[in-house]
Amino acid sequence: MVVKLRHYLRCYNKNTELNILNLFSARQNMWSGSFSSSYSCWKRTWVTLPIGLLLLVIRTWPRLLHPEVWQEDGTYNLPGFFQNGLTDLLEPVNGYLIVVPKMITMLSVSISITQYPMISTFLACGVMLVVFYIVATAPIHIHGGILLAAACLLLPSNPEVFGLPLYSFWWTSILLFVVVFWNANQNDWILRAVIIIMASLSSPVCIATLPLLWVRVCFLRKNPREISLTLLATSCVAIQIWIMIHSNIYVVSQINIASFYLIITKFIGSYAIGNIFPMFRWYFGLFILSLLIVTVLRDLRSPAKWGLAYLLCATILMSISRLSINHLHQAIGSPRYFFFPFIILSWFLLQIALTETSRLLRMGALFILCLSILNAIPVLDRKHDDLNWATHLASCPHFKEYELPVHIDGNIAGTWALKLTKQQCNSLLDKDPFFKPAVTGGFPFRVIRKHPDDRPFEQNDVTVAINKVQPGNEWLGADPQKSHKNGIVVLGSFMDSGAGTGSLTLKMRRGDKLLYRSGLLRSGQFIEVQAPLFRVTTSPVAREWVQLDFSNDLLPDEFSVIFSDRSTDWHEWSAIMLKAD
C-alpha cells in the first residue's frame, strides 16, 4: 500500500536508494521532459491546487473573513512606503531584509488603503498557495509530492504565520529547502534563480541553506548552471549578512546546555503530542529522535536524509538563537519559531514512511505523522478581534493626527498604532478608488494609548471636570484598583464586582479630553455621542488608562456623551477619570 501511494504521489520514477553521484542527475518531470510526462503532471494540478486551497482555508479562515493589519506591517512597512516609496524595499525590518512582504504591502496599498487588509491578506494567501504548488510538484530528490506540501499546512503549531503579509517570508523560505534538493535540470534554472533571489532577500534562512548548495556543487563540478546558481545564492546571503551586521538590530539569544535538553521536548516531542498530552513530550521526543538516528545510520549513503538531518538541526538552532527556548511554545509562545523545524521533521518522517525497507520503522513514522495531525486540531485556527480598519480610516481626516490600531497578537486590548496626519489621510483616501465618504462621521473620539512623553496619563491630560456630570449618574464606583490621586475623580460601573451596570452622562465641548479604563471584555460597554452623524460606539478595551480625545471636526461645539455598561459579566466594567474641579 505504501509503495502504491508513493507511486501515485510522484510524477516521475526514481530508485528508492540514491547515492552521492546520482543525487542530482536529471530526470523527466513536469518541469521538463516528454510531453506525456508533463501532461500527466499538469493534469494533476487540478487535484493539487484544490487540496492546497482547502487546507489553507481551514487554517486561515478567521483572517480571510476579518482581515486586519498586523505588527510591523502596520508600524514599519506601511509608514516606510509612505515616506520612502519603492526604495523602502531595501530597508530592513528587525535586522534583515524582507523583500516579499514589502512587495505585498506596496502593491496592496497602491490599489486601496481602505481595502488594504483584505487585499494584502489575499495576496499573502496567494503566496502560500504558490509555495504549496511548487513543493507538491517540484522535481526534488525527496519523496512525498503533495504530502510534503500538505505537511506545511498541517503543522501542529499555532498558525501565526498563516495568511499574514508580514510573515509571507516564512513561506517563501520553504522554497530554499526545495532548491537544495532540486533535480539538476537545464531548463528550470530561471525559476530557481528567482526563488533564490526572492527568498534569500526575505529571510536569514538563506544562511542555513547555503552550505548545502555548496555541497551540491561539489558533486556537480561540470555543471556551470549549478555553480552559477550557488554563486547567486552566495551573493544574496552576503547582502543579507551585511544588512544584519550594519542594522545593529538583529538580536541573538544565548544558547546553553539546558537549551539542548529542552529541544527534545519542545521541538521534537511537542510535534507529536505537545497540544494534547504535553506531559508525554519527553518520551515521544526520545522516540522520534531515536527513529531519525536509526534511519540515518541504516542508510549512511543517503544525501537526502543527511540533508534533512542538517536542516532540522540548523532551523532549531536558528529558532533558539533568535529567542530563548524557555519562552517558546508551539501554541502560545512565539509559535512561528516552530514553523521550519516542524516542516523539516514532517518531511523527514515522510521519507521514512515512504522509503524505508523496515516495516517497523515505516509504521513508527506513519504513527507519528498521524498523531501530529491529531495534535494540530487544538491549534487549527487562530481568531482575533475586529479593529474596524475602514471606520478608523474614515475618521482619520477629521483629526489633526490619528492613530490607526494595528494588531500584535489579535487582542484588541493590546495594539500598536499607525500614526497618520490629516494631510496623509486625505492624500491616501483621495487616491483610493474604493473609498466613498461615509454617511456618518466615523468615531467621535480618537484613542491615545501612550503619552507622547512616555509617562503615565495624569490630571493634566484631562479637560473635563466632575461638575460636567449630568443628574441621574449611575456610575458610583471606580476601577478595581480604586484609583486615588490628588486633583482627580474616578467614576465607574465597578461597584462590588464587574457585574454592576448603569450609565453616566457628561456635558462636553469639542476638543475635550478625558481618561478611560475598562475590563478585558467590551460586549456591553458603549459610548454614545448625542450629535448628528455619529452612532453608538463600542467602548475600547483599555487595561491601563488611555486618553479619549473628542476633537472630531464634525462634532458640534457642545454635546452630551453617555457612557454605558449594559453587561452583568464580572469581567466587564468601565471607568473614567475627571478633574476634581
> pLDDT value at position 24?
32
Asked whether the beta carbons of 224 and 188 are under 8 A apart, the reply is no
Helix (H, G, I), strand (E, B) or coil at 130: helix
Asked whether the beta carbons of 173 and 96 are under 8 A apart, the reply is no
Alpha carbon distance 318, 205 (integer Å): 8
Sort strands 558-565 and 502-509 into parallel, antiparallel or unpaired: antiparallel
Give mean pLDDT, residues 189-215. 95
Asked whether the beta carbons of 574 and 516 are under 8 A apart, the reply is yes
Contacts of 313 (CB under 8 A, 6+ apart): none
% of the chain residues with pLDDT over 70: 88
- Predicted confidence (pLDDT) at residue 123 exceeds the cutoff of 80: yes
> pLDDT value at position 455?
81
> pLDDT value at position 133?
95
Alpha carbon distance 202, 146 (integer Å): 25
Give mean pLDDT, residues 487-511. 86
pLDDT in tens, 135-182: 999 999 999 999 999 999 999 999 999 999 999 999 999 999 999 999
Asked whether the beta carbons of 401 and 422 are under 8 A apart, the reply is yes
Assign 485 a pLDDT band (cuts: 50, 70, 90).
low
Cell of 328: 517558546
Measured CA to CA in angstroms, residue 179 lies from 138, 174, 389 at distances of 9, 9, 39
> pLDDT value at position 252?
64
Q: Judging by beta carbons within 10 Å of its beta carbon (0-12, 13-18, 19+), is residue 255 exposed, middle or buried?
A: middle
> pLDDT value at position 37?
45
The model's pTM = 0.88
- Predicted confidence (pLDDT) at residue 253 exceeds the cutoff of 70: no
- Predicted confidence (pLDDT) at residue 44 exceeds the cutoff of 90: no
Cell of 304: 537526502
> pLDDT value at position 440?
64
> pLDDT value at position 1?
44
Q: Which residues are paired to 415 by β-bridges?
A: 407
Assign 403 a pLDDT band (cuts: 50, 70, 90).
very high
Q: In the chain, what is the straight-line distance between the N-terminal and C-terminal CA atoms, in Å?
A: 82
Alpha carbon distance 206, 45 (integer Å): 28
- Predicted confidence (pLDDT) at residue 99 exceeds the cutoff of 60: yes
Assign 42 a pLDDT band (cuts: 50, 70, 90).
low
Alpha carbon distance 290, 365 (integer Å): 11
Give mean pLDDT, residues 343-363. 96
Give mean pLDDT, residues 283-309. 94
Give mean pLDDT, residues 388-408. 93
Which of these, 497, 498, 552, lies nearest to 525 by C-alpha position?
A: 498
Sort strands 558-565 and 574-579 into parallel, antiparallel or unpaired: unpaired
Q: In whole angstroms, how large is the CA radius of gyration of the chain?
A: 28
Assign 12 a pLDDT band (cuts: 50, 70, 90).
very low
Q: Where are the domains of the chain?
A: 43-204, 251-381, 389-579
> pLDDT value at position 169?
96
> pLDDT value at position 3?
43
Give mean pLDDT, residues 50-65. 95
- Predicted confidence (pLDDT) at residue 40 exceeds the cutoff of 70: no
pLDDT in tens, 512-534: 999 999 988 888 999 999 988 88
> pLDDT value at position 32?
38
Helix (H, G, I), strand (E, B) or coil at 494: strand
pLDDT in tens, 81-93: 999 999 999 999 9
Q: Which residues of 413-425 are buried (b: 16+ CB within 10 A; e: fewer)?
A: bebbbbebeeebb
> pLDDT value at position 248?
73
Alpha carbon distance 430, 207 (integer Å): 43
What value does the mean pLDDT of the chain take?
A: 87
Contacts of 460 (CB under 8 A, 6+ apart): none
| DSSP symbols for 271-327 | HHHTTT-GGGHHHHHHHHHHHHHHHHHHTTT-HHHHHHHHHHHHHHHHHHHHS-GGG
Asked whether the beta carbons of 335 and 157 are under 8 A apart, the reply is yes
Give mean pLDDT, residues 436-445. 78
Contacts of 122 (CB under 8 A, 6+ apart): 64, 67
Residue with the bigger pLDDT between 203 and 13: it is 203
Alpha carbon distance 328, 344 (integer Å): 18
Assign 118 a pLDDT band (cuts: 50, 70, 90).
very high
Alpha carbon distance 363, 287 (integer Å): 13
% of the chain residues with pLDDT over 90: 67
pLDDT in tens, 441-475: 789 999 998 887 778 787 788 999 999 999 988 89
- Predicted confidence (pLDDT) at residue 30 exceeds the cutoff of 60: no
